[in-house]
Amino acid sequence: MDIKPGDLVVCVDDHWSAERLQCIPNRPVVGYVYGVRELVPPDEYDIHWGLKLDEVVNRPIKHLFSARIYEDSFLTSRFRPVNDESIDIFRKLVADLPREMAI
């Protein structure tokens, strides 16, 4: 995993299922840069790595298949690390946005 807490990432996928829209009110937006608060490893209920973000916090929810209460995370595949190459991609993504949205 090339992403770690403290890193900056840019969201590259903000298409959410209807289920996710209902249970997670605060979500990342394509083209925005976020700080990584925590890296969440796979477990017995989810085989994917997840990220918790400094700028996006949600209330804890009850897991559907266990008694676990947790703050949901976002798939790492929805983000790219911010570096020289991804900054150029980010600039292209936001180039056509109204100025108040791109800042």
pLDDT at 89 (0 to 100): 66
DSSP string, 57-86: ----EE-TTSS-EE---EEGGGEEE-SHHH
pLDDT at 2 (0 to 100): 82
CA distance 36 to 4: 7
pLDDT at 54 (0 to 100): 94
pLDDT at 6 (0 to 100): 93
pLDDT at 99 (0 to 100): 63
Residue located via tokens 């804890």: 60
pLDDT at 100 (0 to 100): 63
Q: Which residues contact 57 (CB under 8 A, 6 or more apart)?
A: 26, 71
Ranges of residues in the chain with a pLDDT under 50 are: 103
